[in-house]
Amino acid sequence: MKIFTNNKLISTVNWTLTYLGIMMVALFSCQEEEVISPSINRTAEFSASTTSLQLKQKNSSQNALTFSWTAGSNRGTNARINYALQLVREGGDFQNGLTLNFGSQVYQSEFKVGEFNTMVKNEFGLEAGKTHGLEARLVTIVKDDSIDPVYSEAIQLEVIPFDPVTSTLYIIGDASPNGWDANQATPLIPDAQDPTKFRGQVALTPGNFKFITDLGEFLPSYNKGEGEFSLFYRDSDEEPDEQFNVSEAGMYLVTVNLSELILTLEKQEGPAFENLYIVGDASESGWNIDSPTAFKQSEDDPFVFTYEGMLTEGQFKILAGATGDWCGEWYRPTTDGQDISNNEIIQLSGCDPDYKWKVDAEQVGYYKITLDQRNLTIDISTVNLYIIGDAGPNGWDIQGPMPMEKDGAVFTYSGPLTAGEFKIAKFKGDWCDGEWINAATSGQPIGNTDFIFTQACEGPDNKWKVSESEAGDYTIQIDLSLETISITGN
């Protein structure tokens, strides 16, 4: 008697642990110990959801095949019953085929398209695009050495497997952001539902481009085919190196369908998404997908959006477009738990991969997030406030202004104010580099705390005025979350 174990599977197929773990998942049909039937000669009934499978990579995440069986018999003993599935090429020897063990109390096993394709190609070396015959049978194993395994009738399967296309794709060329540097080619993102489709928002300039599959390698590549938007797979320097051409600079939505060998290029006259929102427990929105806090769109550049607020310990991501849909459009980091100091970003749709930025305890504070849809860039920086003016300690030194102490969203200056004027900057370096907090009117007395926000050098350049008689020690406190200012004498 020969009982098949996982050792047979491991020695037969060199799979990764992740893949093996997926393949061994089965559905449990009961929660209690299997009940022994009075019919001690009962044989498990074995069936398949289909016997003809044309496997396609674009359907990798869909269900391909389900094997089901009824309970077997332990022949009147109290021994546990285990089940195993055996696969072999048509007319082959099951003893030398593939065996998957499911243990006891398991009566069904499902295989996704991608999983089943990988399994049968690795085990049997099946050629893609051709029909191959397989046979499957169920083994009922009673954990009692006195009882031999029981084998079901074999089910005949017809399978057409596929050769998977690349899992990575990059755009390269003088029209692309990083030119012809194969080490810095711009990545496109695979579709979560169809891994043969890749997409990305890419800033293109007049020139040529094509696609490569691996960073640093010019071959293999996908080049321009016979049609204007058809793709040609090139794996030799001897083959034509035709490239796509862009005549007008702009932001483009690039979609590459490798199963159909078609390129779609859509110029974005404006930003792809008119609304952006922050979502996550690190933000004020929490995990509220229905009414999260919105970014502000720049009046000067409609592709640029900013969010300003407290980031607490936790995670966040950025919703693009419509609210209410967890599987909608998102801007995410390139890895899960990415540090907010890392400015790498991707745009993709769907629920997976559900990458998020992570804010650690020591990073908690008031931040400004700037997302540029045109160039697909993000900047996440802490906000600082500075006193600028001859009434303050550092005068009109914009490169070395007096910083205010910060505690979350609250910024405080305690110290002398001399006769003169001052305003508040959110930046340092050059006069037109960022946002200002100005007095509401020109020459406004320090007893009046009305204020406005202005950008760069666009004004009005109103300032608070400290008279000779008002000079002295003061505390200026600004709460950016509440948008309030208080100025009190010490």
Query: Is it true that domain 276-382 has CATH number 3.40.50.80?
Result: no
**Which residue spans within 32-112 are E strands per DSSP?**
46-48, 52-54, 63-69, 81-89, 98-103, 106-112
Architecture of domain 169-268: Sandwich (2.60)
Output the CA–CA distances (angstroms, integers) from residue 478 to 243, 284, 365, 405, 488, in the order listed: 56, 19, 15, 10, 12
Domain borders along the chain are 6-160, 169-268, 276-382, 386-489
Domain 386-489 CATH assignment equals 2.60.40: yes
pLDDT in tens, 178-197: 899 999 898 898 887 788 99
Strands (E), 360-417: 365-372, 377-382, 386-388, 402-403, 405-407, 410-417
- Give me 103's structure tokens: 């243990």
Within the chain, which residues score under 50 in pLDDT? 1-38
* CA proximity to 420, closest of 387, 398, 457: 387
| Contact criterion met (CB below 8 Å) for 332 and 355 | yes
Extract the tokens encoding 75: 């022949």
CATH no. for 6-160: 2.60.40.10
Q: CA 75, 76, 82: angle at the middle one, nearest 5? A: 55
Q: What is the pLDDT of residue 309?
A: 96
Q: Are both 169-268 and 386-489 of the same fold? A: yes
145-154: pLDDT as tens digits:
999 999 999 9
Phi, then psi, of 118 in degrees rounded to 5: -60, -40
Task: Count CA atoms closer than 13 A to 298's CA, side-chain side.
Answer: 19
- Measured distance CA(68)–CA(47) in Å, rounded: 5
For residues 197 and 15, what is the distance between their CA atoms, to the nearest angstrom?
A: 25
What local confidence, expressed as pLDDT, does residue 6 receive?
A: 32
Amino acid making up residue 250? G
